[in-house]
């Protein structure tokens, strides 16, 4: 079946530190991959996406590359800010199945000044 595995949180970093949140997936064929972010009391916001192997999604300094060979989509940012504190979700949209996102458990990030 289809599934997403994210690194367990919470993750606590100091401002300007480097961030990596690991995400691996299991799926048939070529799913599309997404990172969403959820701030306290809010819904999910799309952070970035990649729809085919070797695609790199990027937004607001965050990046993730679709690696078919390792079935991974790790999220990275070179220098985090306090305002990046949130919960990050990795998700996949299976091939042949629209409107159905499969999410990882989420990783809570706290950035300290």
Would strands 56-59 and 23-26 be described as parallel, antiparallel, or unpaired?
unpaired
Least distance (Å) from other proteins to the CB of residue 11?
17
Task: Tell me the Ramachandran region of residue 41: left when phi exceeds 0, alpha when psi lies from -120 to 50, beta otherwise.
Answer: left
Cβ-based nearer residue to other proteins, 10 or 113: 10
Which residues contribute to the site for other proteins (CB under 8 A)? 31-32, 34, 36, 42-46, 49, 51, 89, 91, 93-106
Least distance (Å) from other proteins to the CB of residue 13?
23
Give the tokens for residue 74. 């790790």
Cβ-based nearer residue to other proteins, 15 or 54: 54
Helix (H, G, I), strand (E, B) or coil at 73: coil
Rounded Cα distance between 57 and 18, Å, is 18
Rounded Cα distance between 24 and 90, Å, is 9
Least distance (Å) from other proteins to the CB of residue 109?
16
Cβ-based nearer residue to other proteins, 73 or 106: 106
Cβ-based nearer residue to other proteins, 68 or 105: 105
Place of tokens 């595995």: 5
């Amino acid at each position: 079946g289809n599934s997403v595995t994210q690194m367990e949180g919470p993750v606590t970093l100091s401002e300007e530190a480097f961030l990596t949140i690991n995400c691996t997936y299991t799926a048939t064929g070529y799913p599309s991959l997404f990172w969403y972010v959820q701030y306290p009391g809010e819904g999910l916001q799309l952070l970035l996406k990649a729809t085919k192997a070797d695609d790199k999604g990027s937004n607001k300094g965050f990046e993730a590359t679709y690696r078919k060979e390792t079935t991974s989509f790790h999220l990275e940012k070179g220098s985090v800010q306090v305002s990046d504190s949130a919960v990050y979700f990795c998700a996949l949209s299976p091939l042949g199945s629209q409107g159905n996102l499969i999410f990882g458990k989420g990783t809570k990030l706290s950035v300290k000044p």
